[in-house]
Amino acid sequence: MVSLTADMSPLHPDRNLALELVRATEAAAIRATPWVGRGQKEVADGAAVDAMRAFLTTVNFDGTIVIGEGEKDDAPMLFNGERVGNGQGPQCDIAVDPIDGTTLTAAGRNNAISVLAVSDRGTMLDASSVFYMDKLVTGPAGVGVVDIRLPIGENIRRLAKALGKPVSEMVVSVLHRPRHDQLIEDIREAGAGTRLLSDGDVAGGINSARHDSRTDMCVGIGGSPEGIVTACAIKALGGHIQGILAPRNDEERQRGLDAGLKLDTVYEADDLVKGDNTIFVATGVTDGQLVAGVQRRGEYIFTESVVLRGKSGTLRRISSEHLVSKWL
Protein backbone atom coordinates (compact mmCIF):
# COMPACT_ATOMS: atom_id res chain seq x y z
CA MET A 1 0.00 0.00 0.00
CA VAL A 2 1.26 3.47 -0.86
CA SER A 3 2.54 5.62 1.98
CA LEU A 4 0.59 8.77 2.68
CA THR A 5 3.44 10.75 4.24
CA ALA A 6 3.33 13.64 1.77
CA ASP A 7 0.03 15.06 0.55
CA MET A 8 1.42 16.19 -2.80
CA SER A 9 3.42 13.04 -3.52
CA PRO A 10 2.98 11.86 -7.13
CA LEU A 11 2.32 8.36 -5.82
CA HIS A 12 -1.20 8.90 -4.55
CA PRO A 13 -4.35 10.90 -5.34
CA ASP A 14 -4.11 14.65 -4.78
CA ARG A 15 -6.36 17.68 -5.09
CA ASN A 16 -5.48 18.21 -8.76
CA LEU A 17 -6.71 14.72 -9.61
CA ALA A 18 -10.01 15.48 -7.88
CA LEU A 19 -10.67 18.34 -10.28
CA GLU A 20 -9.74 16.21 -13.28
CA LEU A 21 -12.23 13.53 -12.26
CA VAL A 22 -15.07 16.05 -12.29
CA ARG A 23 -14.73 16.22 -16.07
CA ALA A 24 -15.59 12.52 -16.28
CA THR A 25 -18.72 12.71 -14.13
CA GLU A 26 -19.85 15.89 -15.91
CA ALA A 27 -19.50 14.13 -19.26
CA ALA A 28 -21.46 11.09 -18.07
CA ALA A 29 -24.26 13.26 -16.68
CA ILE A 30 -24.50 15.39 -19.82
CA ARG A 31 -24.60 12.40 -22.16
CA ALA A 32 -27.29 10.72 -20.05
CA THR A 33 -29.53 13.77 -19.96
CA PRO A 34 -31.28 13.28 -23.34
CA TRP A 35 -32.60 9.99 -21.95
CA VAL A 36 -34.07 11.41 -18.74
CA GLY A 37 -37.75 10.42 -18.54
CA ARG A 38 -37.58 8.28 -21.70
CA GLY A 39 -38.03 4.94 -19.96
CA GLN A 40 -34.82 3.46 -21.38
CA LYS A 41 -32.44 3.07 -18.46
CA GLU A 42 -30.03 0.78 -20.34
CA VAL A 43 -29.60 3.33 -23.11
CA ALA A 44 -29.05 6.14 -20.61
CA ASP A 45 -26.54 4.06 -18.69
CA GLY A 46 -24.70 3.08 -21.88
CA ALA A 47 -24.35 6.72 -22.92
CA ALA A 48 -22.98 7.61 -19.48
CA VAL A 49 -20.53 4.70 -19.50
CA ASP A 50 -19.14 5.66 -22.91
CA ALA A 51 -18.68 9.28 -21.90
CA MET A 52 -17.09 8.54 -18.54
CA ARG A 53 -14.63 6.06 -19.99
CA ALA A 54 -13.59 8.44 -22.78
CA PHE A 55 -12.69 11.14 -20.27
CA LEU A 56 -11.00 8.77 -17.83
CA THR A 57 -8.49 7.73 -20.51
CA THR A 58 -7.12 11.29 -20.50
CA VAL A 59 -6.66 11.62 -16.73
CA ASN A 60 -3.11 11.65 -15.36
CA PHE A 61 -3.25 8.55 -13.16
CA ASP A 62 -2.79 4.78 -13.23
CA GLY A 63 -6.18 3.51 -12.14
CA THR A 64 -7.52 0.00 -11.64
CA ILE A 65 -11.28 -0.39 -11.42
CA VAL A 66 -12.19 -2.31 -8.27
CA ILE A 67 -15.90 -1.55 -8.44
CA GLY A 68 -17.02 -1.43 -12.03
CA GLU A 69 -20.06 -0.95 -14.18
CA GLY A 70 -19.56 -4.20 -16.08
CA GLU A 71 -20.02 -6.40 -13.02
CA LYS A 72 -23.33 -4.78 -12.14
CA ASP A 73 -24.94 -4.15 -15.50
CA ASP A 74 -23.15 -6.52 -17.91
CA ALA A 75 -21.50 -3.51 -19.52
CA PRO A 76 -18.55 -4.18 -21.86
CA MET A 77 -16.55 -1.27 -20.43
CA LEU A 78 -15.53 0.02 -16.99
CA PHE A 79 -15.46 -3.54 -15.70
CA ASN A 80 -13.68 -4.82 -12.58
CA GLY A 81 -9.95 -5.03 -13.20
CA GLU A 82 -9.94 -2.65 -16.17
CA ARG A 83 -7.05 -0.16 -16.24
CA VAL A 84 -7.99 3.47 -16.81
CA GLY A 85 -6.08 6.72 -17.06
CA ASN A 86 -2.99 7.52 -19.08
CA GLY A 87 -0.78 5.25 -16.96
CA GLN A 88 1.13 8.12 -15.39
CA GLY A 89 0.75 9.74 -12.00
CA PRO A 90 -0.69 8.12 -8.85
CA GLN A 91 -1.68 4.46 -8.64
CA CYS A 92 -5.30 4.28 -7.58
CA ASP A 93 -8.24 2.04 -6.87
CA ILE A 94 -11.31 3.28 -8.74
CA ALA A 95 -15.03 2.83 -8.13
CA VAL A 96 -17.37 3.97 -10.88
CA ASP A 97 -21.11 4.35 -11.21
CA PRO A 98 -21.82 6.41 -14.34
CA ILE A 99 -25.43 6.66 -13.18
CA ASP A 100 -26.38 5.87 -9.61
CA GLY A 101 -30.12 5.78 -10.16
CA THR A 102 -30.72 4.47 -13.68
CA THR A 103 -34.37 3.82 -12.83
CA LEU A 104 -34.67 7.39 -11.53
CA THR A 105 -33.17 8.67 -14.78
CA ALA A 106 -35.50 6.60 -16.95
CA ALA A 107 -38.52 7.80 -14.98
CA GLY A 108 -37.38 11.44 -14.84
CA ARG A 109 -37.24 11.39 -11.03
CA ASN A 110 -34.93 13.25 -8.67
CA ASN A 111 -31.59 12.19 -7.14
CA ALA A 112 -29.85 10.47 -10.07
CA ILE A 113 -26.11 11.21 -10.01
CA SER A 114 -22.93 10.24 -11.85
CA VAL A 115 -20.27 9.04 -9.41
CA LEU A 116 -16.54 8.31 -9.19
CA ALA A 117 -14.53 7.40 -6.09
CA VAL A 118 -10.77 7.03 -5.83
CA SER A 119 -8.35 5.86 -3.15
CA ASP A 120 -4.76 4.61 -2.94
CA ARG A 121 -4.01 1.35 -4.74
CA GLY A 122 -4.99 -1.65 -2.66
CA THR A 123 -7.23 0.18 -0.18
CA MET A 124 -10.76 -0.49 -1.48
CA LEU A 125 -12.59 -3.62 -0.44
CA ASP A 126 -13.51 -5.72 -3.48
CA ALA A 127 -16.95 -6.95 -2.48
CA SER A 128 -18.11 -7.66 -6.04
CA SER A 129 -18.73 -11.37 -5.39
CA VAL A 130 -21.56 -10.50 -2.98
CA PHE A 131 -23.92 -8.01 -4.57
CA TYR A 132 -25.87 -6.77 -1.51
CA MET A 133 -24.83 -5.20 1.77
CA ASP A 134 -26.85 -4.15 4.82
CA LYS A 135 -25.72 -0.60 5.67
CA LEU A 136 -26.04 2.01 8.39
CA VAL A 137 -24.94 5.58 7.64
CA THR A 138 -25.12 8.71 9.80
CA GLY A 139 -23.31 11.98 10.23
CA PRO A 140 -20.55 12.64 12.81
CA ALA A 141 -23.04 12.51 15.70
CA GLY A 142 -23.44 8.77 15.13
CA VAL A 143 -19.76 7.90 15.56
CA GLY A 144 -19.43 5.67 18.63
CA VAL A 145 -23.16 6.04 19.27
CA VAL A 146 -25.04 3.81 16.84
CA ASP A 147 -24.27 0.25 15.81
CA ILE A 148 -25.77 -1.81 13.00
CA ARG A 149 -26.08 -4.80 15.34
CA LEU A 150 -28.59 -2.95 17.55
CA PRO A 151 -32.34 -2.81 16.84
CA ILE A 152 -33.27 0.14 14.63
CA GLY A 153 -35.40 1.70 17.36
CA GLU A 154 -32.46 1.75 19.76
CA ASN A 155 -30.22 3.35 17.13
CA ILE A 156 -32.83 6.01 16.43
CA ARG A 157 -33.15 6.85 20.12
CA ARG A 158 -29.38 6.97 20.59
CA LEU A 159 -28.83 9.21 17.58
CA ALA A 160 -31.72 11.50 18.55
CA LYS A 161 -30.13 12.00 21.97
CA ALA A 162 -26.73 12.72 20.39
CA LEU A 163 -28.32 15.23 18.00
CA GLY A 164 -30.34 16.85 20.77
CA LYS A 165 -33.67 16.43 19.03
CA PRO A 166 -36.85 14.47 19.79
CA VAL A 167 -37.34 11.10 18.16
CA SER A 168 -40.48 12.45 16.51
CA GLU A 169 -38.29 14.78 14.42
CA MET A 170 -35.92 12.04 13.25
CA VAL A 171 -36.04 11.06 9.56
CA VAL A 172 -34.55 7.80 8.28
CA SER A 173 -33.86 7.04 4.60
CA VAL A 174 -34.61 3.53 3.35
CA LEU A 175 -34.76 2.00 -0.11
CA HIS A 176 -38.42 1.28 -0.82
CA ARG A 177 -38.25 -2.47 -1.37
CA PRO A 178 -40.41 -5.38 -0.13
CA ARG A 179 -37.42 -6.68 1.83
CA HIS A 180 -37.61 -3.54 3.97
CA ASP A 181 -41.31 -3.71 4.89
CA GLN A 182 -40.57 -4.77 8.47
CA LEU A 183 -37.70 -2.30 8.81
CA ILE A 184 -39.93 0.57 7.70
CA GLU A 185 -42.62 -0.50 10.15
CA ASP A 186 -40.05 -0.69 12.97
CA ILE A 187 -38.76 2.82 12.20
CA ARG A 188 -42.26 4.25 12.33
CA GLU A 189 -43.14 2.32 15.49
CA ALA A 190 -40.05 3.87 17.12
CA GLY A 191 -41.63 7.26 16.45
CA ALA A 192 -39.42 8.43 13.58
CA GLY A 193 -40.37 9.31 10.03
CA THR A 194 -39.13 7.69 6.85
CA ARG A 195 -37.87 8.99 3.54
CA LEU A 196 -38.43 6.15 1.10
CA LEU A 197 -35.90 6.01 -1.75
CA SER A 198 -36.98 4.48 -5.04
CA ASP A 199 -33.33 4.14 -6.08
CA GLY A 200 -29.93 5.72 -5.52
CA ASP A 201 -28.73 4.83 -2.03
CA VAL A 202 -25.31 6.51 -2.53
CA ALA A 203 -26.97 9.92 -2.48
CA GLY A 204 -29.22 8.72 0.35
CA GLY A 205 -26.25 7.77 2.49
CA ILE A 206 -24.33 10.97 1.81
CA ASN A 207 -27.34 13.15 2.49
CA SER A 208 -27.79 11.43 5.85
CA ALA A 209 -24.20 12.29 6.80
CA ARG A 210 -24.27 15.98 5.83
CA HIS A 211 -24.63 18.56 8.60
CA ASP A 212 -27.44 20.44 6.83
CA SER A 213 -29.39 17.42 5.65
CA ARG A 214 -33.11 16.80 6.06
CA THR A 215 -32.42 13.15 6.93
CA ASP A 216 -30.54 11.79 9.93
CA MET A 217 -29.79 8.18 9.05
CA CYS A 218 -29.77 5.83 6.06
CA VAL A 219 -30.32 2.13 6.66
CA GLY A 220 -31.15 -1.09 4.88
CA ILE A 221 -29.90 -3.49 2.24
CA GLY A 222 -28.55 -2.00 -0.96
CA GLY A 223 -25.69 -2.70 -3.33
CA SER A 224 -22.34 -3.60 -1.76
CA PRO A 225 -20.47 -1.59 -4.46
CA GLU A 226 -22.53 1.45 -3.46
CA GLY A 227 -21.44 0.85 0.12
CA ILE A 228 -17.76 1.17 -0.83
CA VAL A 229 -18.45 4.30 -2.87
CA THR A 230 -20.42 5.85 -0.01
CA ALA A 231 -17.60 5.08 2.43
CA CYS A 232 -15.20 7.18 0.34
CA ALA A 233 -17.53 10.17 0.78
CA ILE A 234 -18.22 9.51 4.46
CA LYS A 235 -14.46 9.78 5.14
CA ALA A 236 -14.62 13.42 4.07
CA LEU A 237 -17.78 14.15 6.06
CA GLY A 238 -16.52 12.62 9.31
CA GLY A 239 -19.59 10.43 9.46
CA HIS A 240 -20.35 6.87 10.43
CA ILE A 241 -20.80 3.89 8.11
CA GLN A 242 -21.06 0.18 8.79
CA GLY A 243 -21.92 -2.70 6.48
CA ILE A 244 -22.71 -6.41 6.68
CA LEU A 245 -22.62 -8.40 3.44
CA ALA A 246 -25.96 -9.99 2.57
CA PRO A 247 -25.64 -12.92 0.13
CA ARG A 248 -28.80 -13.68 -1.81
CA ASN A 249 -28.29 -17.46 -1.80
CA ASP A 250 -25.88 -20.25 -0.85
CA GLU A 251 -24.04 -20.00 -4.16
CA GLU A 252 -23.32 -16.31 -3.69
CA ARG A 253 -22.36 -16.92 -0.07
CA GLN A 254 -19.79 -19.47 -1.20
CA ARG A 255 -18.42 -17.07 -3.82
CA GLY A 256 -17.94 -14.52 -1.09
CA LEU A 257 -16.12 -17.00 1.12
CA ASP A 258 -13.92 -18.07 -1.79
CA ALA A 259 -13.05 -14.42 -2.40
CA GLY A 260 -11.93 -14.04 1.20
CA LEU A 261 -14.83 -11.85 2.29
CA LYS A 262 -16.01 -11.90 5.89
CA LEU A 263 -19.66 -12.83 6.04
CA ASP A 264 -21.80 -12.16 9.10
CA THR A 265 -19.14 -9.64 10.13
CA VAL A 266 -19.51 -5.87 10.52
CA TYR A 267 -17.32 -3.94 8.12
CA GLU A 268 -16.36 -0.58 9.60
CA ALA A 269 -15.39 2.46 7.52
CA ASP A 270 -11.70 1.55 7.48
CA ASP A 271 -12.55 -2.00 6.41
CA LEU A 272 -14.49 -0.71 3.42
CA VAL A 273 -11.80 1.79 2.42
CA LYS A 274 -8.49 1.92 4.27
CA GLY A 275 -7.10 5.29 5.27
CA ASP A 276 -8.45 8.77 4.61
CA ASN A 277 -6.84 9.51 1.24
CA THR A 278 -10.12 9.26 -0.64
CA ILE A 279 -11.75 11.33 -3.34
CA PHE A 280 -15.46 11.22 -4.11
CA VAL A 281 -16.93 13.07 -7.08
CA ALA A 282 -20.58 13.32 -8.11
CA THR A 283 -22.41 15.31 -10.79
CA GLY A 284 -26.17 15.62 -10.83
CA VAL A 285 -28.07 13.96 -13.66
CA THR A 286 -31.47 14.96 -12.27
CA ASP A 287 -32.19 17.42 -9.48
CA GLY A 288 -31.69 16.20 -5.93
CA GLN A 289 -30.76 17.10 -2.37
CA LEU A 290 -27.06 16.60 -3.03
CA VAL A 291 -26.66 18.36 -6.39
CA ALA A 292 -28.77 19.98 -9.09
CA GLY A 293 -29.31 18.09 -12.32
CA VAL A 294 -28.09 18.98 -15.78
CA GLN A 295 -29.91 21.93 -17.35
CA ARG A 296 -29.77 23.29 -20.88
CA ARG A 297 -30.57 26.94 -21.33
CA GLY A 298 -30.01 28.38 -24.78
CA GLU A 299 -26.49 27.71 -25.96
CA TYR A 300 -25.25 26.54 -22.56
CA ILE A 301 -25.41 23.37 -20.49
CA PHE A 302 -25.18 23.84 -16.72
CA THR A 303 -23.90 21.15 -14.34
CA GLU A 304 -23.39 21.00 -10.58
CA SER A 305 -20.88 18.69 -8.93
CA VAL A 306 -19.48 17.97 -5.47
CA VAL A 307 -15.93 16.92 -4.67
CA LEU A 308 -15.22 15.39 -1.26
CA ARG A 309 -11.65 14.73 -0.09
CA GLY A 310 -11.13 12.52 2.91
CA LYS A 311 -7.63 13.78 3.64
CA SER A 312 -8.66 17.42 3.98
CA GLY A 313 -12.25 16.82 5.13
CA THR A 314 -13.65 19.19 2.53
CA LEU A 315 -16.74 19.30 0.36
CA ARG A 316 -16.48 21.62 -2.64
CA ARG A 317 -19.25 22.50 -5.06
CA ILE A 318 -18.41 23.08 -8.68
CA SER A 319 -20.88 24.82 -10.98
CA SER A 320 -19.91 24.61 -14.64
CA GLU A 321 -21.16 26.13 -17.88
CA HIS A 322 -20.59 24.16 -21.07
CA LEU A 323 -21.09 25.37 -24.62
CA VAL A 324 -23.71 23.20 -26.29
CA SER A 325 -21.77 23.37 -29.56
CA LYS A 326 -18.91 21.44 -28.00
CA TRP A 327 -21.21 18.53 -27.15
CA LEU A 328 -22.94 18.10 -30.51
Query: Residue positions in the annotated binding site for Mn(2+)?
Result: 45, 69, 97, 100, 226
CA dihedral defined by 263, 205, 171, 319, rounded to 10 degrees?
180
**Cβ-contact 164, 222 below 8 angstroms:** no
Q: Which residues are annotated as a binding site for substrate?
A: 100-102, 132, 177-179, 199-201, 223
Q: Which residues are annotated as a binding site?
A: 45, 69, 97, 100-102, 132, 177-179, 199-201, 223, 226
d(CA 66, CA 43): 24
Nearest to 294 by CA among 99, 159, 130, 117: 99
Pairing of strands 217-223, 171-175: parallel
Amino acid occupying residue 291: V
Nearest to 118 by CA among 98, 95, 141, 138: 95
d(CA 305, CA 23): 10
Q: In terms of residues, how long is the chain?
A: 328
